[in-house]
Structure 1
């Protein structure tokens, strides 16, 4: 009699429990460092207190840069040659656009999916896995052999688990999120003349119809399909939603 293989839900639950434990341990370490720093006499009266304030500010900046550097060098991030851009420079936990912030685990109270595909002069550019998920990633292999991000150190409300172009909107409350919010988390430019690192005339399709407005204002709704063509206009290519979405 063979053991029952864990379901995807079980694997995700286990990954989330591990993430929560890691986040708790990280927070405790940060508190211990701060207590030791104060006990060592860094925070004094008058001018020394001001110096301590700026010291904290400097440490925060150094910490943020360290996170970015670590993410950029992390071997788990998607570095496929077919990508529009990697996640190396994306947000690493800070609040984005005032509403799109990260949690230690996914929030599933409001859970929808939109799809994005991008063509640059007729060549399709893939969307990387792990947008909106702070590295290091916990990677699994899907049935087709592709990578799937099952966990990370933090999740933004907008994120990708794989290279299919599916944008997961997972928020604790129902709010309006836009394609611009997604690109801001990715920290890639999006305008009528530029998509990521690529510049040129932009043609936009939304659910198969031409869209002439600001692409960053496109609202992400359930099963919305977005196509961005930079340079050469590529006729709209439909996307078939896989089962389970």
Structure 2
């Protein structure tokens, strides 16, 4: 009997189950490190405690810079030549706009998906996998794009592949915007620029022309967003794959 080939949704589910234990272990390790810092600070209260605080803060800042450098050079980040921009300079753990935070594992209490596609003078640009996911990555094949099955940390907004699907996975239900996403990506977004490309920006939301500020577009379940830079490309619909 021919065995039924697992769907993309099944593969994603299996991958998530496999890495759940890894993320739990990493979360426990990070909590132990944090507790050790707190204990050290409590023991060294007073003048010595102040010095210790600044020493700890200096170490944390140095670690953050090292993390950013590793992010920029990590071989697992997406370097497809068709990308609008890579993730080499994206956020590396700091809070974004005061609302988009990162965690050692995905938080699924509020879980929706929106789609983004970008055209520059009529040429479609790919959205990289791993926006909002900190390397090193574990990559799996998923259709025409690699799929990020794990990373060292996850922001509430992230991409697992190059399909343009933006995953909103948050501990609470709240509004997140396209501006938040681009701020996380560390790429410009305005009515005259998208990422490194400049020109008049035409925006479509669910097939309809949108004339407002593109940074204010909120993510809702299955919302479809198209950004055209320069040449106006007629809206191209996106068909959601099974499993979303």
The reply to whether TM is greater than 0.5 is: yes
Q: Within 5 Å, give how 1:11-160 maps onto structure 2.
A: 11-29=15-33, 45-46=46-47, 49-142=49-142, 144-160=143-159
Aligned-residue offset at 1:116: 0.3
Alpha carbons of structure 1 residues 44 and 159: separation in structure 2 relative to 1, 3 Å: closer
Partner of 2:165: 166
Residue 82 of structure 1 aligns to a residue whose secondary structure is: coil
CA deviations 1:122-181 (Å, max 9, x no partner) are 111100001111111111111x25200111111111111100000111112211111111
Alpha carbons of structure 1 residues 5 and 24: separation in structure 2 relative to 1, 3 Å: farther
Structure 2 contact 191–213 (Cα < 8 Å) conserved: yes
Structure 1 counterpart of 2:14, from 2, 10, 13: 10
Shifted more, 51-60 versus 104-113: the winner is 51-60
RMSD of equivalent CA atoms: 2.6
Shifted more, 27-36 versus 125-134: the winner is 27-36
Unaligned runs of 5+ residues in structure 2 are none
Aligned-residue offset at 1:35: 6.7
CA deviations 1:3-52 (Å, max 9, x no partner) are 9999532321121211221232344356557878998xxx5853x54443
Partner of 1:224: 223
CA deviations 1:166-200 (Å, max 9, x no partner) are 01111122111111111111111111111111121
* Counterparts of 1:19 and 1:74, CA distance in 2: 20
Displaced runs of 4 or more, over 4 A: 1-7, 29-39
Number of aligned positions between the proteins = 240
Residue 70 of structure 2 aligns to a residue whose secondary structure is: helix
* Counterparts of 2:101 and 2:40, CA distance in 1: 29
Residue 114 of structure 1 aligns to a residue whose secondary structure is: strand
* Counterparts of 1:224 and 1:23, CA distance in 2: 32
- Normalising by structure 2, we get a TM-score of 0.88
Aligned-residue offset at 1:87: 1.0
Structure 1 contact 16–151 (Cα < 8 Å) conserved: no
* Counterparts of 1:209 and 1:4, CA distance in 2: 40
Shifted more, 113-122 versus 101-110: the winner is 101-110
